[in-house]
Amino acid sequence: MSKLTYIDLFAGCGGLSLGLHQSGWQGLFAIEKSYDAFKTLEYNLINQKNHFNWPKWLPQQPHEINEVLDKYKSQLEKLKGKVTMIAGGPPCQGFSMAGKRNEYDLRNDLINSYINFVKIVEPKIIFFENVKGFTMEFKKNKEKGVAYSSQVTKKLNDAGYFVKGQLVNFGDYGVPQKRTRFILVGIKKTLKNASQEKAEAFFNSLESNKFDFLKEKGLNTNTNLQDAISDLLRKNGLEETPEYPSFQSGVYGKEKGNYQKVMREGTDGKLADSHRFPKHSPVIIDRFQKILDATIDRRNFNISKSIQEEYNIKKRTVIPLNALDKTPTITTLPDDYIHYSEPRILTVREYARIQSFPDWYKFQGKYTTGGKLRIQEVPRYTQIGNAIPPLFSEQSGLILKQLI
C-alpha cells in the first residue's frame, strides 16, 4: 500500500502534523499564513524530520489559503482523488467561548475556503477540528437556529462525504488538560465500503483504542499538571537563556513519572528549550504568592471578586492552577494562569508540556507580543495555545488509517 498522504490546512505550529507524522502519515504540504507559526513547523517537521514531500510548484513558505486557491488552482486540480486526507481546522476566534464570539468575524469565512479546497482536491477522508463554540448558535442568529457545525456538515455532505462531528475532550486521551473541541470526520461516498456508520465508528474506535495506545507508551488518561511539569520548577536552577542573554531559563529537574520521560525523549543537555522565565516585579511575585496562599482550596477557578478587589486586579481571568488536576483549557494568554507552586506565570515549555508537545520540538519567534502587533504576530505562547495536542492527533492518525 502506498504511503497515506495528507495536506494540513491552517497548520499552525504543527501540532496536528506532528501527531500524524508519529502515526505514520506522509505530509504533502501545509498551509499556514503566520510567519512565526510556519517557522516552528518548518524547523521541526521539514528541516528536522523531513516529514513533507513538498511539491515544486508551491514555494515552501507561509501561505494564505485563498491565495493558494487562486494562484495554484490548476496544480490543485491535478491532485484530485490522489490525496488520502485533508486535515486541519480554520481559525476559531469568531466562535471561541474564550473570546467575544463574533458571528461576523471575517475569519469565520475561512470555513468556506476550507470547503472549496476539499471540493477541488477531493480527498478520500477529511479530518476537521474547531472550538466547541463552533457547535453553538450565535444569540443574534437564533431565528436561523443553525450552528456553524451543522452548516459545514451539510455542505460536506452535499460535496459527497459521509460526515460525523462531535465534541471530544482531549483530557480523556492522556493530555493533562481539559480541552473540549469539535472534531469532524468525513469519508468520500464513492469509496469502497464507505458508509455513514463508518464515519461514526471513528469516534467509537478512538475511545476504545486509547487505553492500549497510552499503555504502550507507559501513559494513562489521568495525567495531571504535576505529572506534566514538576521537573520544570524554577527552584531546580537557572542558566542564561541562549538567544536572550538578559533572561534566565530553567534547567531540568529529576524526571518524575512516564509522562515526563516520554516528553523528554530525544533531548540532550540540561537546559529545556523555550523554558525562559518571565521577569516579574517583586510586587507581582508578592501578589501571586498571596493569591496562591489564599486559594489553596479553590484552584483551577478564576479568582473571586474579593481577591480581585483586594489586589486591584482588572484582568478578566486569573486562574491559580491545581497541581493534582488537569488544567483548564489553556488560552493564548499566559498571564491568565498562575503556576501551582511558584509565584509566576507558566513558561512556553510548560505550556508545550500541557499541550503534549515533546521537548525536542523547538518553538521559533518571539515569546510574547502586545498592542497592535497581536493582530499580526503569533508568538510562541499563541502558537501553542492554538494547537491541537500531538498526543491526541497521533491517536486520531492511527484510527484514520483504519478508515481507508
Mean pLDDT of the residues in the chain = 91
Residue 56 confidence (pLDDT) above 50: yes
Q: Higher-confidence residue: 7 or 93?
A: 7
CA distances from 267 to 167, 181, 211, 360 (A): 34, 30, 26, 5
What integer is the mean pLDDT of 77-82?
96
Per-residue pLDDT of 113-165, as tens digits, reads: 999 999 999 999 999 998 887 776 545 544 444 577 888 899 999 999 999 99
Tell me which residues are annotated as active site: 92
Return the percentage of the chain with pLDDT > 90, whole number.
81
Residue 1 confidence (pLDDT) above 50: no
Q: Domain check: are 70 and 156 in the same one?
A: yes
Residue 95 confidence (pLDDT) above 80: no
Q: Domain check: are 206 and 233 in the same one?
A: no
For residues 278 and 208, give the distance between their C-alpha atoms in angstroms, rounded to a whole number.
Answer: 41
Return the percentage of the chain with pLDDT > 70, whole number.
91
Least confident of 34-38, 135-139, 191-195, 295-299: 135-139
Instruction: Give the domain CATH number at 174.
Output: 3.40.50.150
Q: Domain check: are 189 and 258 in the same one?
A: no
Q: Which residues contact 179 (CB under 8 A, 6 or more apart)?
A: 169, 170, 171, 329, 330, 389
For residues 387 and 35, give the distance between their C-alpha atoms in angstroms, rounded to a whole number.
Answer: 15
| Joined grid coordinates for residue 214 | 497510552
For residues 261 and 247, give the distance between their C-alpha atoms in angstroms, rounded to a whole number.
Answer: 27
Q: Domain check: are 179 and 266 in the same one?
A: no
The angle at the Cα of 235, spanning 230 to 238, to the nearest 5 degrees, equals 110
Q: How much is the pTM? A: 0.93
Q: Domain check: are 380 and 399 in the same one?
A: no
Residue 354 confidence (pLDDT) above 70: yes
pLDDT at 99: 45
Rg (alpha carbons) of the chain, rounded to whole number: 21
Residue 97 confidence (pLDDT) above 90: no
**Other C-beta atoms lying within 10 Å of the C-beta of residue 203:** 16
Could you tell me the residue range of the domain that residue 247 belongs to? Answer: 225-385
pLDDT at 149: 82
* Residue 91 pLDDT level (bands cut at 50, 70, 90): confident
Q: Domain check: are 261 and 213 in the same one?
A: no
Q: Domain check: are 141 and 129 in the same one?
A: yes
